[in-house]
Structure 1
Amino acid sequence: MKKLIWLTTIIILFLVFVVPGVFALPIDMIPANDQPGYSVNEKLSLYGKRIISQKFISQEDNLSAIGISLGNPNLKNKKQITLSIYDVGDNLMRTSVINGQNLEDGDFVKFVFPQIPDSKNKDYRFTIVTPEAGAEEVIYIYHTQSILSWMEWAKFTDGIEKEVEGGLPFVAFHTPKSKLEVIRTVYSRFLPSYFQKP
């Protein structure tokens, strides 16, 4: 009986402490934040010359992707959707393009680009456009007032730039410097939530 208890204990400890580290090894990008909550009713329609922009401060080095939920009602948008990142001097740093035909309505989409080294604590702005889309091929960008302290309220341009009542519920991703950083991040987020009382 004691052997069975010891074996069960060892298996549980293995599952809790070792397996997450093994599964973490293939991870090539780490989120800097959880996605802020949002309502699908708070949205802006994007097509043609309309532009949505969002300022933020990068929380980590090697910024390498921006993830955001997009609406593609009735899957009508099959045009290119472009995310561009600018530095504080408004210099274009990176561009990432996806095609709307691969976008399901409400999908969380990652715009991946070559990593920006030394990006930690630096100001950036990203824009999202779909210039080839007509009014019938609109995509929706959601916004929320539940933004984090390092995000600003977004701006929407439709001929005239205006401030949106809230920011975009996006996630910034960065490329870890080593696999050790990946494993450390996974354990630092996993273990506290595992042992937290319900």
Structure 2
Amino acid sequence: MKLFSVLLWSLFPGCWAVTGPRSVRGRLGGSVTVECGYEKGYEENSKFWCREGTWLATRRCSDGHLVETTEREAEVTQGRFSIRDNRTRRVFTVTMENLTLADAGTYLCGVDMTAIDRRHTVSVSVSPDVSPRSPITDVLPQSPTIETPQITKQPDSPSPTTTESRFSSNADTTPTRFTVLILLLFLSKGLVFLGIVCAATCGSVRYRNSCREKVSRQTHS
């Protein structure tokens, strides 16, 4: 693998002269920042940012440079794109503002050369805005709070439990009183019947005694 890298470097000198991330992601309407580094000796060269061409023109800019620095200007802004070259760190930073879905694609960050430019491929993806929105209740005016009046319980008023117990006790005692009344009625009738029987018995006894006395008188006379 190392031998292959050396062979590739000898065939394509400077192919790793520019480094950076392979892919970055930004949110719709937001921004994305890409940092690309370069080797020593390219500090004074212009740095650029562009879209990669089609498969027939791979690693070439499709419609020219979107933004690029110059020998005198290390920081340049063109529309929604800006680039800043830190020549001390040998790193240039590209920023894309107000991202749209059409901004998604493959880009090239590179160093401008007289013969063959040094480039690095970066894939940019844009995700839809998924930030939570405020609920409808936050927009609508809040209804006034109605306080429920507290009802103070009177000490003399009977509780529902006591009332129910009274009803239940009345319901339980009513059959008992009715039974007692029936028993008293039967008892009184029984006493009257006994009185009648006693009176009849006494009358028959007196009648027999009077008959005996008459018979005895007639016998003695």
Question: Which protein, 1 or 2, shows the higher relative CO under an 8 Å CA cutoff with sep ≥ 6?
Answer: 1
Q: Which has the higher helix share?
A: 2
Q: Which has the higher strand share?
A: 1
- TM superposition score normalised by structure 2: 0.25
Give the number of the structure whose alpha-carbon radius of gyration is greater: 2
- TM superposition score normalised by structure 1: 0.27
